[in-house]
Amino acid sequence: MSQKLKIGLIGAGGIARGAHMKGYASIPDKCEMVAICDTNEETALLAQKEFGLDGAKITTSYQDILNDPEIDAVSITTPNKFHMQPTIDALNAGKHVLCEKPLAMNAAEAKLMCRAAKDSGKILQVALQMRFSGQALFLQKFIENGNMGDIYYARAKALRRRGVPHWGVFIDKEKQGGGPLIDIGVHILDLTLFLMGYPKPVSATGKTWDVLAKNPENKNFWGEFDRTKFTVEDFAVGMIRFDNGAVVTLESSFMANAEGDPFESQLFGTEAGATIRGWGDDALSIYKQIDGQYFDLKPHNIPKVESAHVSEVQAFVDAILEGKASPVPGENGLTLNAVFDALYKSSETGHEELVDVSY
C-alpha cells in the first residue's frame, strides 16, 4: 500500500459531499479521492465538480471501484438498504470500508458485514461522528480516569418536535429499515454506549408510534413530505438492559409534542453524573459531590473540534496508515442494529426481547 491512500466513494449524495468528501479533502497529504460512484451519474459529476476532482473516475457501478487494484479504501454512503452488499464486496476485494450509519438494515445483515471484516482483516468503520466531538472526547477521558465511577444508568434522547426529513428515503421503511430510532437514535445511543464502555446488551423492551406524521394538520418545520408514503415510526421509546447490570432508556422522534429538539444523554455514575449534548454552548455539564457539597461543573478546556464528521474520516485514514484497529468497529454497529431489532420486535409483541450480538 502506498503511503498516500487512494479513496473511492460509493454514493455521492448529501452525506458523501457534506461529510466524507470534506474529511478526505482535509488531509490531501494522506489520501486522494480517485473514483466516485453513484447510480445517478449527474450526482457523481456534481460531487466531482464540487471538490475539483477532475481526474477522478466517474462510474455508476461500484464494482468498477472494487475492481481497481490501486484503490485502498472506500466510503459507502448509499441508502441503508444498500449498505450490506457493497460493504461485503469491498472487504472481500481487499478494501478498507467506512460505512455510513446505521451499519445495516438489521442485525442479520450487520453480522455478515462483521464476519466479512474479520475474515478479510480489513478495517470496517461505522460513520458515527458524535463520539469525535470535543465534549465527547473530554467526557470519555474524564470517565476513563475514574471520575464518574460505575455508570449504571443513562437516559438518551434524540427528539425532534417537527423534523421529518423531506428528502431521500428517510420515511420509507423498505429502504431505510426504520424511522427516527434507526436514523438519529443511532447517534445518541452510540454516544451513550461509547461513554459507558460499550457494555453488552442482553434484552430490550420498547414501543413505537406513527400517530403524528401521517396527519397533514401537523406541519413539518423541515418542509412538506408525502404523508401517504410515510411508512416508518415517528416516535420510539425503549429500555435496554446490559450484562453488567446497567440500563439505558432511549427516546427518539421525528415528530413529538415536546419542548424543543433535545439531543442529549444523561449519565448517572456512582461518583458523578453528566449531561452531554450534541451541540451548543452548553454541551457538557458534570454533577458531583465534593466534601459534602454539591457542584454543577462546567469544563472550560473542552477540545475544539471544527467538524466531528471530518474528524471521523481523518481517524479512518490514520487507522489504515498506522495499522491501528477500527476507530468505530463494525461490532459497535452490530450492537446498535441488534438493539433496534429487539425494540421494534418488542413494540409488536408487547414483551421484552433478547438482544443477540453474536456472529
Residue 131 C-alpha cell reads as 463520539
Task: Name the pTM for this structure.
Answer: 0.96
Geometric angle at alpha carbon 340, from 167 and 139, rounded to 5°: 90
- What local confidence, expressed as pLDDT, does residue 149 receive? 98
- What local confidence, expressed as pLDDT, does residue 290 receive? 95
Strands 73-76 and 57-59: unpaired
- What local confidence, expressed as pLDDT, does residue 2 receive? 53
CB 64 within 8 A of CB 38: no
Per-residue pLDDT band for 3 (boundaries 50, 70, 90) equals: confident
Burial (0-12, 13-18, 19+ Cβ within 10 Å), 343: buried
Per-residue pLDDT band for 140 (boundaries 50, 70, 90) equals: very high
Residue 63 C-alpha cell reads as 464494482
Q: What is the H or E stretch that residue 98 is in?
A: strand 96-100
- What local confidence, expressed as pLDDT, does residue 85 receive? 98
In one letter, which amino acid is 193? L
Backbone angles phi, psi at 203, to 5 degrees: -160, 165
- Say yes or no: domain 134-304 is CATH 3.30.360.10: yes
- The pLDDT of 140-168, averaged and rounded, is 97
How confident is the model over 315-336, as pLDDT tens digits? 999 999 999 999 999 999 999 9
pLDDT at residue 40 tops 90? yes
Q: Where are the domains of the chain?
A: 5-130+309-328, 134-304
pLDDT at residue 14 tops 60? yes
Average pLDDT, the chain: 97
Do 5-130+309-328 and 134-304 agree at the fold level?
A: no
Q: In the β-sheet with 124-127, what is the strand arrangement from edge to edge?
A: 57-59, 31-37, 5-10, 73-76, 96-100, 124-127
- What local confidence, expressed as pLDDT, does residue 239 receive? 98
- The pLDDT of 114-127, averaged and rounded, is 98
pLDDT at residue 110 tops 70? yes
Residue 143 C-alpha cell reads as 470517565
Residue 46 C-alpha cell reads as 456534481
Strands 96-100 and 124-127: parallel
Q: In the β-sheet with 201-209, what is the strand arrangement from edge to edge?
A: 293-297, 284-290, 272-277, 263-269, 151-159, 247-253, 235-242, 201-209, 353-354
Which homologous superfamily is 5-130+309-328 in?
NAD(P)-binding Rossmann-like Domain (3.40.50.720)
CB 73 within 8 A of CB 34: no
- The pLDDT of 296-303, averaged and rounded, is 95
Residue ranges in the chain assigned as alpha helix (H): 14-15, 21-25, 41-50, 62-66, 84-92, 107-120, 134-144, 173-176, 180-183, 185-195, 308-322, 330-349
How confident is the model over 41-85, as pLDDT tens digits? 999 999 999 999 999 999 999 999 999 999 999 999 999 999 999
How confident is the model over 230-267, as pLDDT tens digits? 999 999 999 999 999 999 999 999 999 999 999 999 99
- The pLDDT of 265-288, averaged and rounded, is 97
